[in-house]
Structure 1
Amino acid sequence: MIKQSIFALALAIALQSHAAPVKDQYWGLMANQLFPAVAGIKGRPTQQLSAVLDGRRKRFDACQGASKCLFLAATWTDEEMDAVARAIPALPTVAPNGPPIADDGVKAQVVRELRGLNAILQTYGFGTEPRYPMIDGPVEKTGSADFKALVADAIWLAEAGRNDPALSLDPSIALAVALIDVNERRDAVAFEPLDKAHNAEALARARGIDWKRYRYTAIIIPGVGPENPAIALSARGKLHLRLAASRFADGDAAFIIVSGAAVHPKESRFVEAVEMRKVLIERYGVPADRIVIEPYARHTTTNLRNATRRLVAMGAPLDKPTLIVANASQSAYIESPEFAARNPAELGYQPGTVGRRHSPYELEFTPSIRSLRVDPWDPLDP
């Protein structure tokens, strides 16, 4: 602990001798993805917020690099969250002319972001078990010497990046991003800019679509990951693709949205959405400009939530249904009371409305604007 404090002090002195802060493009991208409302505060804060931030910096500096003290100091209180919310006049929007990132107001969004930041400190700093320990959490075993060393490194890295222009509002932002960085959990920004780099063809096609011509805006194919790291797509995932390709050939849907990250198993290198797109194009001849990838979802709940986000990016009408195509077991689960209860417990809302069933594999789904709410409680897919 003494060595850590001495190192932190030396680092602080060294940083003070350099006037120009260095901007980390990845850190800026991560901060905007996880904390879009809070990180979007630019310029001089209001007097009330300045007083809160000054108090937090003093609390932070008094720790002199001691890890437990730092994480407690960085944790946001309800009163501090209120001060941040009062300083934000309006929320960022999804696109220049799109809806705001949350339908329930500034305060609700700020609370989501800062409680999510607190959760990052708990999981990656203190070692509190994440909601899904089999697929989430720190790279090192909690409580081990390697875990403690990684936390110490994150603290030093955060101090070095404390004056980064994208994270300078409060030291807790740099600390949270540094913890994610040292654990190599870049999942939340791995495909950014998603729509410009990976969905450009489909979104260009969507701009000229007459949505009234189609019964469904899109067919949604949720992931169903294999448990073998050598397998790109599970057998059920391949079933999803065959069924969806056949349904798309009927001409009822304007697009196909493939949804799934690299989740199962935890060390998998295959991103389901990317692999599904390849199969649809190479094996079933689906035009590339009719396929939208959603490579972030880690659960069935977020398959539907994130597909909705892509529909908004496409300009699709949300009052028009989509069609979920999945194996009989997963499809039945999406329609079940268990799934209906899971959504508000994990997301805080229903991502949409499950509608008519057409077969054991086909289920209508009408998306909800609530799905735009960003929530870094899951920093791998906020």
Structure 2
Amino acid sequence: MHSLSWDIAVFLKRLPKNLRSNRWWIVWNKRLYLSTPRKGLATNRASQRNHVEDWVAESNHYVVWFLRAFRRKEFEGAQHALFLPELGMFGNMTKRLAAALATADSLGFGHVVVPRSAEFSGGIYERGVHDRGGRALFWMCDTRDSPHSPVTVLHKTDFLSGRALPARELAAFSPRGWADLFSVLINKPVKAPLPDSHLVIHLRGGDVFGPRKPASYGQPPLAFYQRILDNERWSAVTIVHQDDKNPVLRPFLETCKARKVPVTTHSGKVGEDIAELLRASTLVAGRGTFMPAVVGLSRNVKRVFYFHDKFSIHPPVPGVEIIRISDVEGTYVRDVLSNNWENSDYQRKLMLTYPQSNLGRGALH
């Protein structure tokens, strides 16, 4: 009975969103767009297509209703838009937006459209219609006071599970996409960038150590942070943390004091934490999607340390040294990082007692 009530509540909550965007139609900016069969926009055989024509032919696209019946559907790139129906929290949201901007520019599309219903976590990026200086217009959760829709075709895509262009096709466009996304951040850094010798660590807490316990998001051991601390002579350390739930926090503070390394902590609203992380030249990442998004947005970062996995930046970011620390012995990965995180007493103890001697520095990339 409880499950049925929950399902009904979720259905009712999502109903307005589903009525505006579904497999058959999209309603956006006072226009109705109707789903068109795949390959409905193709004008060349597969063997003759370039990467733009191939992507368009295979995409899920919606054509404005009064042109839906036309047999020949050829439209200028400026009339095409990428449509993002979901954003998610900061990490996934940022990856989706950066990939959409770079992909739209690579394809020669005129627009990137994010409907208001897609915004799960607000207060990160400015709403509005953002002019990107000759590149795809960025409609971020707003159509108010905007011109009537110039978009003829919407391409509905995800960028987490959907089709993506190869990295080689995005390489020339991703730096500009990341920079344009940074430009619409609400909380930009207001303090000066930090020097290379100032180590900035993101320590994840929150749901990982709460009742939800996401199985795939076990966090690095204390030894990971201690190894990096011992690797160089740092002028200072800043720990940016969500809360006090991560068991590594207090012992690592004690380690810094024992090593006589000045250490400060920062814990604020998510936008404030992001702004602090964006000051860093040298970063240490917790496991998850949060820090790859920070690195993509950063105008200052030069080096990033991460543990084992879950650190991929898409679209790619050039010029950042990424250093992997791995569990060469294997017990920690087996017992904590194999989709088996339960926040158990044993796992929490292993986070604090796993020895540095079991860790190794992986290849740079």
Do they superpose with TM above 0.5? Answer: no
Name the one with the larger strand percent: 2
The one of the two structures with greater contact order (alpha-carbon pairs below 8 A, sep at least 6) is: 1
Greater helix content: 1
